[in-house]
Amino acid sequence: MPPGEPDPVEHFNQLRAELIGLAYRMTGSLATAEDIAQEAFLRWQAADRSRIEVPRAWLLKVAARLSLDHLKSARHRRETYVGPWLPEPVLESEEPPQQAAHERAQDLSVAFLLTLQRLSPAERAAFILHDLFETPFAEIAALLGRSEAACRQLAPRARARPGEAPPRHPVTGAEARRIARAFLAAARTGDETALRDLLARDVVLHTDGGGLRPAALNPIEGVDKVVRFLAGLARKRAAPPSPLLHLGWINALPGFVTLEPDGLPQTTALEVRDGRIAAIYVVRNPEKLALVRAQLRV
């Protein structure tokens, strides 16, 4: 390294979290995002850095291109996915800092990530790079091989964020943990009265088993159907209640991780609106829980 040149490893590490964040929003997989960040690092080391004027912009574009390449290779597998697809869960022990809570809740929430996944890869890249990472449309055009005008038309669809209106009374801190604990207790015992007190009338339950573990093949909609489903699971459970491994935040939502009778974890994230649970996101697919297992040492 020439005298006076910034340490390339230190420089990259300052940007690594952003690269993982971009790739995770693009792919919905934290493991894939970390692999993409590692590949970006290798390309950063091999590049002629003296010709890179803005390292952050260069690395973001590398991560975006790698994400697009991954989406092309994963397209068939996504099209043949068994049951509802949910993004790989991201665990946090503590609530995000107050000044960042609203932004992170919007950009990491499962509902928003699902909205992104319904976009084409190009639309997704344009929106994420421009709106979340402040990349000029001229640079996005070069990345996607389209005109700047065409790229300006890609982002508005995602910008609408269907179903992403913020709750009138956001849940935070102790209230979020109370709701998560109460839901866990009611679901474990099949307490239908308690469940009805916690759930919104139009609640939706999403369960992602990926065809590898039992899960509902379609979202379950409405408080009556969700309560019957959860109560039925409780009645069928022969083993003792699943041990609680984690109570905190999952994708900026209150939630918890339990150890199920098959020896594998299960994550449950709860979208709370105006004091009631409006959506339940359960990830059971073991391929999406490898990092959770490592983090919790399961």
Rounded to an integer, what distance in angstroms lies between the CA atom of residue 22 and that of residue 13? 15
Check whether 210 has a pLDDT greater than 80.
yes
Q: Spell out the SS3 assignment of 115-127.
A: HHHCCCHHHHHHH
Closest CA relative to residue 275, chosen from 191, 198, 164: 198
- Asked if CATH classification 3.30.470.10 holds for the domain at 173-296, the reply, yes or no, is no
Q: Which architecture, in CATH terms, is 110-163?
A: Orthogonal Bundle (1.10)
Rounded to an integer, what distance in angstroms lies between the CA atom of residue 126 and that of residue 131? 8
The pLDDT tens digits of the residues spanning 240-276 come to 788 999 999 999 899 999 999 999 999 999 999 888 9
pTM: 0.87
CB atoms within 10 A of CB 76: 9
Say if CB 19 and CB 39 are below 8 A apart.
no
User: Domain segments of the chain: what residues?
Assistant: 1-80, 110-163, 173-296
Closest CA relative to residue 287, chosen from 82, 72, 20: 82
The CATH code for residues 1-80 is 1.10.1740
The distance of Cα 85 from the centroid of its chain, to the nearest Å, equals 11
Q: What is the pLDDT of residue 163?
A: 47
Structure-token pair, residue 157: 């669809």
The pLDDT tens digits of the residues spanning 152-206 come to 888 776 566 544 544 444 567 788 889 999 999 999 999 999 999 999 999 999 9
